[in-house]
Amino acid sequence: MVEVPAIRVVELRKSFGTLDVLRGVSFDVHRGNVVSMIGASGSGKSTLLRCINRLETPSAGEVYIDGEPMGARVGANGQSSARPLVEINRMRRDLGMVFQQFNLWPHMTVLGNVIEAPIRVRGMSRKDARALGEECLAQVHLSEKSSEYPARLSGGQQQRVAIARALAMRPKAMLFDEPTSSLDPELTDEVLSVMRELAGRGMTMIVVTHEMGFARDASDRVMFLHNGQIEEEGPPEQIFGAPRSERCRQFLSKYRQ
Amino acid sequence: MSDALLEAINPAMFWEYRLVLMRGLAFNAYVFFSSASVALAVGLMAALLRVNRAWPFRWIGTLHVELFRNAPDYIMIVWVHFVLPLLLGKLLGQRIEWPPFVSAVVALGFVYSGYFAETFRAGIQSIPLGHLDAGRACGMSERQILWRIVLPQVVRRMLPEATNQFVSLFKATTIVSLIAVPDLMYQVSMVIQTEMRPLPLYTSAALTYFAVIYVVAGTLRLLSERWRNKIYA
């Protein structure tokens, strides 16, 4: 029996006006795998991630979550039609997302941020949601901050709250969009170690990152994006040990001191 | 001379008629709260039109804002009370009229909706788009994002500006006496007609407005500061 990939991306394209950001990207992510996406700024990594949970609508191509196409649905008569936003919202719940800028909601407490979607979207009772929220905050080692407002936390703490917020939706997979890029170097480690713990527990993850150390030792596969296409992909040993592509080699040389 | 002056501004008259005058002031409050509700509701709708992606909606929102923000409230009250019923009456072929209170609330509500729309719009546009993305990524609907993430932040951000507009609106309620809404100014004018002593009555009315606005606006500012500080540390 062939396993259905947790996330399958097929021939994904995205243009903004005349600018082609993604030019036909295809790959599979299997359950429990961690895929790191590296590449220069403007290579399309973030856009690719945002197309996967449809924060951006792809110009062409399709994303399948557990075999279900995100952009279209197939009716009983076999006809496929555009998927309405209500259903896209429902599918998005299964993909947790963590942003570069954290994007915590400043008017809610830490716990408030974490339990908002479980209550509003999953229809959980406040009591159950609180228990779940406390559990998710414990996973990111921030139980003691649950009644603080985000503005009183450090960047690393805010990003860990954002991870807890995504975890509270019990996602099938997590998407990380440069989660440590706006953090001071001494704060990146606390976020990366939480991500490593998640990976260790078998979470399916796609991580857009400039942290080559994380890409090398925490991921099962690394993809190097260039100009909206996957220039090279493979296990970290290959990408960091003996990259086949000249561009990939050049890119990585900038990260070696 | 100073005795005559003291006699002229003696507020005893105001005290004597305090019940009538307080009833008038209560009417001001009534007009204020009603028109503020209209202004907030209509203003929010206009603001949402103004930030809509489709241009016809944006166009309607802009038209609304420009039309009502640039219409003097005095003229709007007169127009809504005297001209609008005539127009509608001609269209429907029957006599139409409504109480002065309704005209006052509709006119002031719509004029101030123009201002509130701009305050709401500025507030909505100041919310980082990432906050919306975070909501969408959690599967929240656009409506949930608006009511749970955007508007609660907008309200906090717009409070200082909105307080100023509430003060203007409250002051504007004094001109509703023009179409015989029995507010404080209307009551004062009535008493002056029988007592023939405008000086103490008008002065007291001015001081009353000052005191009410000063205390209420001050309290509102204090509360909103405290509320905001918790979040924007």
Comparing A33 with B12, which gets the higher pLDDT? Answer: A33
Calculate Rg over the CA atoms of chain A: 19
Residue B1 is predicted with a pLDDT of 57
Per CB-CB distance under 8 Å, the chain A contacts of B137 are 53, 55, 92, 95-97, 166, 175
Comparing A195 with B225, which gets the higher pLDDT? Answer: A195
Tell me how far the alpha carbon of residue B33 is from its chain's centroid. 7
Residue B232 is predicted with a pLDDT of 65
Torsions phi, psi of A40, nearest 5? -70, 165
The tens digit of pLDDT for each residue in A167-221 reads 999 999 999 999 999 998 889 999 999 999 999 999 999 999 999 999 999 999 9
CB contact under 8 A, B233 and A121: no
* Rounded (10°) angle between helices B184-195 and B18-50: 150
Cβ partners under 8 Å of residue B181, min gap 6 = B27, B31, B100, B101, B104
Q: How confident is the model at residue B225 (pLDDT cuts 50, 70, 90)?
A: confident
Residue A75 is predicted with a pLDDT of 75
Whole-angstrom distance, CA of residue A234 vs CA of residue A37? 11
Average pLDDT over residues B173-184: 88
CB contact under 8 A, B148 and A106: no
The tens digit of pLDDT for each residue in A39-73 reads 998 889 999 999 999 999 999 999 999 988 988 88
Which token pair is A195? Answer: 């991500």
Asked if B187 and B21 touch (Cβ cutoff 8 Å), the reply is yes
Location of structure tokens 């409250």: B170
Q: How confident is the model at residue B160 (pLDDT cuts 50, 70, 90)?
A: confident
Judge whether A252 is closer than 8 Å to chain B, CB to CB: no
Q: How confident is the model at residue A1 (pLDDT cuts 50, 70, 90)?
A: low
Location of structure tokens 């001015």: B206
Asked if A25 and A229 touch (Cβ cutoff 8 Å), the reply is yes
- pLDDT of A257 over the 60 cut: no
Nearest to A6 by CA among A202, A229, A238: A202
Whole-angstrom distance, CA of residue A128 vs CA of residue A134? 10
- pLDDT of B8 over the 80 cut: no
The tens digit of pLDDT for each residue in B106-116 reads 999 999 999 99
Domains and their CATH numbers in chain B: 3-228 (1.10.3720.10)
Which token pair is B128? Answer: 């980082």
Is the pTM of the predicted complex or chain greater than 0.80? yes
Measured from the Cβ of residue B72, the count of other Cβ atoms closer than 10 Å reads 11
Per CB-CB distance under 8 Å, the chain B contacts of A104 are 134
* CB-nearest partner of A93 from B139, B153, B233: B139
CB contact under 8 A, B148 and A116: yes
Strand partners, A38: A224
> What is the strand order of the sheet A7-16 is part of?
A19-29, A7-16, A60-65, A68-69
Judge whether A101 is closer than 8 Å to chain B, CB to CB: yes
Q: How confident is the model at residue B49 (pLDDT cuts 50, 70, 90)?
A: very high
Per CB-CB distance under 8 Å, the chain A contacts of B230 are 149
Nearest to A169 by CA among B138, B143, B141: B138
Q: Chain B: nearest CA to A121, how far in angstroms?
A: 6
* CB-nearest partner of A99 from B130, B141, B142: B130
* CB-nearest partner of A53 from B137, B142, B232: B137
Judge whether A4 is closer than 8 Å to chain B, CB to CB: no
CB contact under 8 A, B130 and A101: yes
Residue B58 is predicted with a pLDDT of 95
Q: Chain B: nearest CA to A257, how far in angstroms?
A: 34
Comparing A240 with B2, which gets the higher pLDDT? Answer: A240
HEC string of B110-128?
HHHHHHHHHHHHHHHHCCC
Mean pLDDT over the full length of chain A: 92
String of DSSP letters for chain B: -HHHHHHHH-THHHHHTHHHHHHHHHHHHHHHHHHHHHHHHHHHHHHHHHT-SSHHHHHHHHHHHHHHHTS-HHHHHHIIIIIHHHHHHHHHTS-----HHHHHHHHHHHHHHHHHHHHHHHHHHTS-HHHHHHHHHTT--HHHIIIIIIHHHHHHHHHHHHHHHHHHHHHHGGGGGGGT---HHHHHHHHHHHH--HHHHHHHHHHHHHHHHHHHHHHHHHHHHHHHHTT--
> 3-state DSSP call for residue A256?
coil
CB contact under 8 A, A151 and B231: yes
The tens digit of pLDDT for each residue in B60-86 reads 999 999 999 999 999 999 999 999 999
Q: Chain A: nearest CA to B167, how far in angstroms?
A: 26
Whole-angstrom distance, CA of residue A34 vs CA of residue A216? 11
Q: Which residue is closest to A165 within chain B, CA to CA?
A: B138
Strand partners, A72: A82
Per CB-CB distance under 8 Å, the chain A contacts of B138 are 92-93, 116-117, 121, 165-166, 169
Asked if A70 and A62 touch (Cβ cutoff 8 Å), the reply is yes
Nearest to B211 by CA among B34, B74, B25: B25
Residue B117 is predicted with a pLDDT of 96
Residue B200 is predicted with a pLDDT of 83
Q: Chain B: nearest CA to A237, how far in angstroms?
A: 32
- pLDDT of A82 over the 90 cut: no
* CB-nearest partner of B138 from A93, A149, A152: A93
Q: Which residue is closest to B127 within chain A, CA to CA?
A: A105
Determine the straight-line distance between the first and last CA of chain A, rounded to whole angstroms. 46
What percentage of residues in chain A have a pLDDT greater than 90? Answer: 79
CB contact under 8 A, B138 and A165: yes
Comparing B10 with A160, which gets the higher pLDDT? Answer: A160
Residue B178 is predicted with a pLDDT of 87
Torsions phi, psi of A217, nearest 5? -100, -10
Determine the straight-line distance between the first and last CA of chain B, rounded to whole angstroms. 57
Whole-angstrom distance, CA of residue A48 vs CA of residue A15? 11
Mean pLDDT over the full length of chain B: 90
Q: How confident is the model at residue A99 (pLDDT cuts 50, 70, 90)?
A: very high
Interface pTM (ipTM) of the complex?
0.91
Measured from the Cβ of residue A14, the count of other Cβ atoms closer than 10 Å reads 22
